[in-house]
Chains A and B, each alone.
Chain A
Amino acid sequence: MMNNYKLPISKINQLFKNKELKPSELYAETFERAAITESIIHGHLELFQEENLKKALNSDERYEKGENLGTLDGIPIAIKDNINISGYATTCSSKMLSNYISPYDATVITRLKNEGALFTGKTNLDEFAMGSSTENSAFGPTKNPWDSSRVPGGSSGGSAAVVSAGSAIASLGSDTGGSIRQPASFCGVVGFKPTYGTVSRFGLVAFASSLDQIGPITNHVEDARLIFNSMKGHDPRDATSLIESKAKQPKLKNAKIGIIKELMEDGISEDAKKEVHKVAKLLEAEGHEIIEVSLPLTKMSISIYYLIAPAECSANLSRFDGVRYGNRVPGSTSSEMMELTRANGFGPEVKKRILLGTYALSAGYYDAYYGQALKARAMMKKEFTDIYEDVDYLISPTTPSDPFKFGEKSDNQLEMYMSDLCTIPANLVGMPAISIPTGLSSQGLPLSVQIMSPSNTDNTLLDFSESLESLVAFTEEPVINGVVS
């Protein structure tokens, strides 16, 4: 029998309403689960238990009176530690911000609070969301709940692992090049990156502003939809946040689905390809049409990404100088103080990307690197816009392989970067993309497929994904510390 913490949120909400379960009981259940799993998984950097128990009791009262705020009222959600919650630390898993307390709420936090959601705590990530394994966290890596010798993916590794392990009902991650979808895939849960601009970035510590997008990591597609719809919508504090526009929606029945040829070639494991073909067959049986499509620029996405993202991050991370906040290392002059602070506060991957980006933007190199990358990005956008004239959805593996072992790729940076090959295009183009667990690899580890659709068709993509989810009927769960979740 399923534990409560693996139920869809709508079911939990029913239990609350029917007074069969209290928010405080569920809250306690997730913390019991954390007590069992956290010592192995290390998904949370901080657990909020004490402070939030009171909030859970308030939620109990609201349900008691029939005055619950929204469907999320009383639902314990974990928050990636690069999203600000007022009064709590936002460390970004960096030594630089190990003592930094945010004085304000991110817009997504405000909106979830308005719905009555509870927070379990802050989750681990690769430092400043730069990485694909959480090995770059200054506070130690998160372990994959399916196999603690393997990475949970990244950068939202903590957020994916805690949902998989059951110490949160759902979580928020941020996705710059696959940071929600890749760890969701590695941990066997659902990860959704919305259209760029649909969810406010205000209060999300920026990595690469033109690519970053907050999204949910959940056990069920319907949970992702619920959380997405609670967070989305124009925010006057984010100039890039979209005002809802009407886009032509893809078909839900008899849809045309393209398998991206370039994401089914070299570098993609047989297991991963097999999942895509399996899913394609299921969809075909439902009356959908499956075709192979070619998007040649997809092969360049890693090159484009590793110019644009570091360039933006080199400026975004300049503010961490020890002057106004963060850990300061004293120096004999102000510039020495800033140099020492940054040398001490940032880890090697962050430094590498700042250097890369600084170089790409420098006089004499801008045109050859950053300028070219912008042009290629624009071309790639066009390639996708054109293909959507023909197909409703695109499908690919989420990751080239099942979860890798700790240390396996940290010596080979290019291979590490390649693990985002399938997910980066959605960030460069801005379109929504979802990762849905579909099966296990030959090693018994989770595998997923990714579905993408045109920008501003998020809810249709989620509807479509929900029907696929029920077709696939993936119900496997990890065994942690000898306890099945």
Chain B
Amino acid sequence: MSIIPTIGMETHVELKTNSKMFCRCHVLDTELPNESLCPTCLGLPGSLPVPNKKAIEFITLLALSTNCSITNDGMFHRKNYFYPDLPKNYQISQFDLPVGTEGSLEIVVDGEFGTVEIERVHMEEDTGKSTHIGSGRIDSATSTHLDFNRAGIPLVEVVTKPLIKSSKEAVAYIEELRQLVIDLDISEGKLEKGNLRFDANISVAHEGDKELGTKVEIKNMNSLKSLEKAIEYEISRQTKMLIAEENIIQETRHWDEKKEVTSSMRSKEGSADYRYFSDPDIPNMILSNDFVNEIKTIIPELPSQKRKMFIETGLSIEDANNLGKNKNWIGDLYLSITEITGDSKSSFNWVTGELQGQLRKLEIKDLPNWVTAKNLSEIILLVKEDKISFTSGKEILANLIEQEIVPEEFASENNLIQENNIEEISKIVEEVIENNSEVLERIANGEEKLIGFLVGQIIKISKGQVNPSVAKELLLKEISS
């Protein structure tokens, strides 16, 4: 009987509001500690929280975009626990009335569509940041430095149902969520900056078991790679234990990036008692239908919609998905080009591969205004119709990025137009065969890679104007005859 893993993801998305969730402090991107503080985000006696309207708009956008039902009469709760970087020793969060419930998100795994079920989307405030000196953990550190710049920054927690089946699905889900918050323009979405932070709840069970296995929570995965590795490690650890009929403990485990193992952080005897109760400092969060409808009108094109549009041009699911991960103008450019060239695959390859590669190499962020869908299509078509070689196409592109040129004119002026005339090429082939009898003999004796050398000779004589594939074809024909 096979063993089935079950994964649920909890993701914190840091919103890019100007000010914090419950006070007017600026959200600062700085390494200097404790630069953006006030009585409220520092939890001074007598301070009070006032919710940030922009953050509520942002979370409503996200909840709607993940197909959630919106809670019209929601509220904030206090989640009570003691930790030095939690200024009030309770976190303002949401409990049984979150902003969004019962949603879903389309994902792409291995070129196929999948769906991740969303359980809830709720609003909360971030904690401060602890830096433990001399140890990774607070109780063995010689000292702990506290930075409260982060305290009170609005966070959205997105919790999936425990229905994810593999590490690949989990990674695809995070990639999708990341793209979504970027497209919604509600978060920087930078994993390396901690704009998206995720924990995974993992259990294993025998196929057909009615109940899920014991849940283990994995923390400290800072990249998609570590997410994938940590899940795989944990599934195999638990699977071995299940086979050996060992007892899996409900606990939180820490992913060790260097050793690539998970280790126990703390066991949860039952579940922690956070003593949630509604925050008496904040009136109920009323999201009226009018408000929700207004938010609906500002939802931009979502990743799934972009994907659908790209697929309709003929791209594969995977290519469409990858194209959507680029800046919007890339997708738009692709659409214009593919309409002219009628070739989705090569349009995709040229836009996402060659064009983006060259721009990146030259560290150009925006496309020069003379580089248009029209002249880019011209290059693509020249290559497609074998009028120039792929290499020449790249050369023309590089020149186009530097200065305003007309690709076909540039090709002619620089002798890049390929010779496709068989008679002309045959003459050169014959000439090369005559002059390289020794090489031919070696080819006959099995040194087949010397064919390439001969093709090179043909191209050299033609000054690069011969279509290499045609030359090779003719050469082989001559040799075998």
Contacts and interface: CB of A to CB of B under 8 A. Distances in A.
Given A321-B89, A334-B84, A236 B50 contact: yes
Given A104-B39, A209-B281, A334-B139, A239 B46 contact: no
B47 interface: yes
Interface residues of B, number: 33
Interface stretch (B272-280, B400-408, B424-432): B272-280
Contacts of A393: none
B78 to A, nearest CB: 5
Interface stretch (A197-205, A219-227, A344-352): A197-205
Contacts of A27: none
B470 to A, nearest CB: 76
Contact of A202 (B42, B47, B78): B47
A361 B276 CA distance: 7
Q: Most chain-A Cβ atoms within 10 A of its Cβ — which of B45, B47, B88, B144? A: B45
**Secondary structure of the B side of the interface?**
loop
A415 interface: no
B39 A106 contact: no
A253 interface: no
A241 to B, nearest CB: 9
Contact of B138 (A82, A333, A358, A363): A333
A186 to B, nearest CB: 26
Nearest to A363: B273
Q: How large is the interface on A (under 10, 10 to 19, 20 to 34, 35 or more residues)?
A: 35 or more
Contact of A318 (B48, B89, B281): B89
Interface string A80-104: 0011100000101000010010111
A92 B276 CA distance: 26
A201 B282 CA distance: 12
B45 A97 contact: yes
B48 A239 contact: yes
A14 interface: no
B80 interface: yes
Contacts of A238: 48, 50
A315 B80 contact: yes
A19 interface: no
Nearest to A324: B42
Contacts of B282: 239-240
Interface string A198-216: 0001111110111000000
Interface of B: 39, 42-51, 78, 80, 82, 84, 87-90, 138-139, 144, 146, 271, 273, 275-277, 279-283
The 8 closest A-B pairs by CB, nearest first: A318-B89, A210-B280, A209-B280, A361-B275, A205-B45, A203-B46, A319-B43, A333-B139
Interface of A: 82-84, 90, 92, 97, 100, 102-104, 106, 201-206, 208-210, 236-240, 311-312, 314-315, 318-321, 323-325, 333-335, 338, 358, 361-363, 366, 370
30 contacts: A83-B46, A103-B39, A103-B44, A106-B46, A202-B46, A202-B48, A203-B47, A206-B45, A208-B280, A237-B48, A237-B50, A238-B48, A239-B283, A240-B48, A314-B275, A315-B78, A315-B80, A319-B43, A321-B84, A323-B84, A323-B146, A324-B146, A325-B44, A333-B138, A335-B82, A338-B82, A362-B275, A366-B275, A366-B277, A370-B277
Given A239-B48, A239-B49, 13 more contacts: A84-B46, A103-B39, A104-B39, A104-B44, A106-B46, A203-B47, A238-B48, A239-B281, A318-B80, A319-B88, A321-B84, A324-B42, A361-B277
